[in-house]
């Protein structure tokens, strides 16, 4: 069971990195998401899924605050 959980986490992190690069994120941003997911997957993976819909938005690219990016 633990092996399945680790496999799911690894696959989702690899997908997250590939998706962020496809959406035009910088390597620094992409590696930040990946490192966060490795350290605390249960927080960073859902956060990535929420934030990814804003990738490419002008407000996000101009350095908007996290609350603006996440519609909080």
22 to 4, 6, 34, 51: CA distances (angstroms): 27, 24, 14, 14
Q: Determine, yes or no, domain membership for 49.
A: yes
- How many whole angstroms from its chain centre is CA 49? 7
Q: Determine, yes or no, domain membership for 54.
A: yes
User: Which residues, at least 6 apart from 52, have a Cβ–Cβ distance to it below 8 Å?
Assistant: 19, 20, 23
Number of domains in the chain: 1
Whole-number Å distance between alpha carbons of 18 and 70: 21
Q: Determine, yes or no, domain membership for 16.
A: no
pTM of the model: 0.71
Q: What range does the domain containing 38 cover? A: 27-58
Q: Determine, yes or no, domain membership for 65.
A: no
The per-residue pLDDT string of the chain (72 residues; one tens digit each, 9 = 90 and over) reads 899 999 999 999 999 999 999 988 888 989 999 999 999 999 999 999 999 888 876 544 455 555 455 444
């Amino acid at each position: 069971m633990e092996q399945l959980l680790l496999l799911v986490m690894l696959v989702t992190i690899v997908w997250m990195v590939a998706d962020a690069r496809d959406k035009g994120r910088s390597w620094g941003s992409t590696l930040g998401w990946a490192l966060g997911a490795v350290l605390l997957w249960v927080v960073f993976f859902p956060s990535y899924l929420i934030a990814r819909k804003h990738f490419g938005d002008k407000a996000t690219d101009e350095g908007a605050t996290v609350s603006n990016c996440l519609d909080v």
